[in-house]
Structure 1
Amino acid sequence: MINPRIIPCLLIRRNGLVKTVKFKDPKYIGDIVNTVRIFNEKEVDEIILVDILATVDNQELRLDFLRDIVSECFMPVCYGGGIKRVEQIRQLFEVGVEKISINAAALETPELITEASAVFGAQSIVVSIDIKKNLLGKYSVFSHGGKQDWRRDPVEHAREVEGRGAGEILLHSIDRDGTMAGYDMPIIEKVANAVDIPVIACGGAGSLSDFKQATQAGASALAAGSQFVFHGKHRAVLVTYPSRQEIRDLFTP
Structure 2
Amino acid sequence: MGCACCATSWLPDPALSDMLKKRLVFTLLYDGGSFMLSRNFRLQKVGDLRWLQRHYDFSRIAFHIDELIVLDVTRGVRDPVRFCDTLKALTEGCFVPIAAGGGVRSLEHARQLLRSGADKVVINTALHEQPDLAVELAEDFGQQCVVGAVDLRRDADGQPRAWVDRGMRALPGSALDAMAWLRKPHIGELYLNSMDRDGTGQGYDMGLLDLVAPHCSVPIILAGGVGNALHLLAGLADARVDAAATAHLFNFIGDGLARARQQIVAAGQTMASWPPASSLGAAA
Q: Taking structure 2 as the reference length, what is the TM-score of the superposition?
A: 0.78
Matched-pair contact (CA < 8 Å) for 2:235–2:244: yes
**Structure 1 residues 245 and 64: alpha-carbon distance in aligned structure 2, compared to 1, 3 A threshold:** closer
Which amino acid in structure 1 is aligned with residue 266 of structure 2? Answer: D
* Superimposed CA distance per residue, residues 185-219 of structure 1 (whole angstroms, 9 cap, x where no aligned partner): 11123212211101100001123332233231611
In 2, Cα distance between equivalents of 1:178 and 1:6:
17
Instruction: Say which is worse superposed, 175-184 or 17-26, in terms of deviation.
Output: 17-26
Matched-pair contact (CA < 8 Å) for 1:98–1:124: yes
Which of the numbers 227, 233, 246 marks the counterpart of 1:224?
246
Structure 2 unmatched ranges of 5 or more: 1-18, 271-284
**Structure 1 residues 41 and 133: alpha-carbon distance in aligned structure 2, compared to 1, 3 A threshold:** closer
Aligned residue runs from structure 1 range 102-251, under 5 A: 102-215=123-236, 216=238, 218-226=240-248, 229-230=250-251, 240-243=256-259, 244-251=261-268
**Structure 1 residues 115 and 36: alpha-carbon distance in aligned structure 2, compared to 1, 3 A threshold:** farther
Provide the secondary structure at the position in 2 that maps to 1:141.
Answer: strand
Aligned length: 246
**C-alpha RMSD over aligned residues:** 2.4
Structure 1 unmatched ranges of 5 or more: 232-236
Matched-pair contact (CA < 8 Å) for 2:70–2:99: yes
* Superimposed CA distance per residue, residues 10-44 of structure 1 (whole angstroms, 9 cap, x where no aligned partner): 11122221111101042415523345524634612
- Higher normalized contact order (CA 8 Å, seq sep 6+, divided by chain length): 2
In 2, Cα distance between equivalents of 1:97 and 1:78:
5
Q: Taking structure 1 as the reference length, what is the TM-score of the superposition?
A: 0.87
Which of the numbers 40, 43, 46 marks the counterpart of 1:22?
40
Q: Which residue of 1 aligns with 2:25?
A: 7
Which amino acid in structure 1 is aligned with residue 251 of structure 2? Answer: F
Q: Which residue of 1 aligns with 2:60?
A: 40
Give the C-alpha shift of residue 61 in structure 1: 4.3
Aligned-pair identity in percent equals 26
Structure having the higher strand fraction is 1
